[in-house]
Every structure is written in structure tokens, then in C-alpha cells.
Structure 1
Amino acid sequence: MEFRIEHTWDGLPVNHEPARIQLKPWVEGLLMEVNAPFFDDPPAPPGEPGKPFDKLWDYEVVEAFFLNDRTEQYLEVELCPHGQHLLLLLSGRRKPWKQELALTCEVDRKETRWEGRAYLPWSYFPPCVNKFNAYAIHGSEARRTYEALYPVPPRDLQEGQQPDFHRLEYFKPFHFEDVMGKGWKQPESDLWKHFLCAK
């Protein structure tokens, strides 16, 4: 299953080859592959490659969000071309309850493009994921660019509006069966089960 991020957050076509995200089966979860332009702007985060980095969204990233729209529980995955990553588990819009989770990931960076692979265990996904969106961010200051797989529709844009990747109402339907095969059932997550029991 492949997604192409072809628009800015407010619906304008991007002016470069779009970032692509592929989702594939993996024995312990989902393999997320990124193939995207490398802008090298802003410079690399001051963190160790292969490790979580807080506020990675301030740098060059490609992001994927997996949502249960009935509970507003979701997994946010961020990959950076310099090798850092950030995973957040959220319950409620912009309400993380666990972040900087461990992740096995690889990045291969060339002069103008980069590829990333992230191995996402099933325990990171909230129950009953049924919506998805993806984003790409790059550039500094006036050149800062926010791109969205499913942008805000033109009818909903308001003067002075800023990009907001937690507008869950614009996410679109998503089914793991389309990746894993018909009849497949999402495994129960010990992480989310513990969170739900602790509430």
C-alpha cells in the first residue's frame, strides 16, 4: 500500500517529487517505508541517529498518523532523513500519554533523496485503527513547508489559519486488512491495554 504526499496542508500541489510512504506486512507488526526528497533544511537535529528526538517536528520529517476516530486514540510516527525518530501515543487530540518509544529504523540518504524504514510493532497501535493521514515538513523560516496526504479542504480554510496536523476530522478511512490480507485481525496491544486499565 503506497501513499503519495502531493499537496501542501492547505491543498496546493507540491512543486517537487512527492514524498512516498509504503506500508508492508512485517512479522511483528507493520513496516513503514519512506522515500522522499532530501532538502537538508533545516540542518540535522543535535541528537544521535537511531534514537528518539523530542520535538522532531521542528526539523525535516515525514510523519504518519494511525487513528481510531471513535476514541481519538492514535499513533504518531516521525522519521527524519538524518536518522532520528519520534513516536507518540496519544489519547485525545494533541494529548500524548507516552512518547520517545524505542524503534528499529534505518535511513539511507543520498544527495537529493532519502529512504527510511521503520519497524512498527503491533503493541504501538491503538485498538481498532480506522483512519490515516501522513505529512512531510521541510524548510526554515519563510521557506518552511507543510505538506499533507489529506489536506484541509478549500471550503474549510480560514484567513490566517496555520497548519495543524492534529485535525483528525480530515483523516481518511484506513484498514489494516488492505495491507495484511482479508480476514486479518489487529492484535491486542499490551501498551494500550495497560493505559486503558490505568485510567
Structure 2
Amino acid sequence: MLPSIYPFNIISIFIPVMHEPVTITFKAGDQGLIMHVNSLFFDDPPAPPGEPGKSFDGLWNYEGKKYIYLCMVMVIAFRMHGQHLVLLLYGGDWLDLIFKAEINWSKWNGTALIPWRYFPPGVDKMNSYAIHGSGIGRTYEALYPIPREAIEFGQGPDFHRLEYFKAFSLKWIMGENWEQPASDLWK
């Protein structure tokens, strides 16, 4: 069983990252999973033009944290300026959620309530990614990176390599007797 707090030094595709670790905390909530992120704030690239607290298309072009659950059926991305993106990949539905973020000097904290109805039944894998920097300084990092020997010449960042995702269960957070609420999104 994994703890509900995941402090990790995110590893880039090619080299270990030499900065303070990202911390992700999952907590049980009545209406959904509460996820708290604490990370360094690189401020590169600058803030996107989207309104804080609202969904923003193209979030992957900016500094942020990205969380993917269960075989790429749902992408959840957060930006330290308060924008977020929740996308169901099969069906293309954009979903909203409650997300608040704040920046304090060189760090940022964000908290999201991810409604239970957003999770497909039997969530069993996850990976987490971070992106920051611009131009040749653009850095893509992964909690569970693709091994160096599996990277092909000229390959760019690939967030869809499911074979490198790791086991994850909502019961690790909610308790072994917890039953996931039924979802109208995943009938």
C-alpha cells in the first residue's frame, strides 16, 4: 500500500532533476478526491491568458503539473496561476472542477476537488508529469519516466506510454472497504 503523500523528485527523460521535490497529497473528500500539490515555481513560460479557476485549452504549453489516471481515459492538468484542464480522452468531454492555487515567492500550492463521478470504475494506474521552461530550456519530467533504453532516437516527450504507469488504487486513500460511487460519465 502506498501512503497518501507522494513526495518525489521528478526525473526528466534523460537526467535526474536537481531541484526540490514535488509533493502530492491525496485526501478523502465526501464529494471527491482532494489533491494538494506543492512545488517550486519556475515562472517560465509566463502565465497563460486564461482566467484563474477556469478550464484552459492548451495548458500543456505552460509550466504546470499534469496527472493522468487509468490508461489515458482522463487527463487532469493544473497551472499555478489557477487554470486547469480536465479532459476525458474518449469522447472529448471537457469537465470543470474546483481548483485554487497560490504562489508564494518561489513556490506554489494548489488544491483541487476531483468529483467521484469523474473517475472511471476500477482506477488502477497513474503517472504524474511536470513541465517548465521555454525553448531549449523546456523540461519534461515524469514520476515514472520512460527508461533511457526505451527512448528512440529523436523521440519527444510521450505522456501516453501506459506500460510505464504504476499501480494506483483509490482504496489506498479511501480504505479497503470503500466502494467507488457510480458515475453517469462512465456508463
Q: Name the TM-score, length of structure 2 as normaliser.
A: 0.93
Deviations 1:13-49 (A, max 9, x none): 1111022211110111100110010011100000110
What corresponds to 1:98 in structure 2?
A: 93
* Alignment match, 1:197: none
Q: Which amino acid aligns with 2:105?
A: E
Distance (Å, rounded) in 1 between the aligned partners of 2:7 and 2:75: 18
Unaligned runs of 5+ in 2: none
Query: Could you tell me which amino acid in structure 1 is paired with residue 87 of structure 2?
Result: L
Task: Give the SS at the match of 1:178.
Answer: helix
SS of 1:22's partner is strand
Q: Which amino acid aligns with 2:83?
A: Q
Matched, 1:148 2:142: yes
Within 2, Cα distance between the matches of 1:73 and 1:62?
Answer: 16
Structure 1: how far apart are the matches of 2:43 and 2:151? 30
Amino acid at match of 2:143: L
Q: Does 1:88 align with 2:91?
A: no
Identity of aligned residues (%): 51
After superposition, what is the alpha-carbon deviation per residue over 1:126-171, rounded to whole angstroms, capped at 9, x for unaligned? 1211001001111111111001000001231222121111111211
Aligned-partner SS, 2:73: strand
Deviation (angstroms), 1:11: 5.2
TM-aligned CA deviation for residue 74 of structure 1: 2.2
CA deviation vs aligned residue, 1:109-132 (integer Å, no higher than 9, x gap):
111000000000011111211001
RMSD of Structure 2 on Structure 1 (CA) = 1.4
Say how many residue pairs are matched.
Answer: 184
Q: 1:168 to 1:9 in 2, by over 3 A?
A: farther
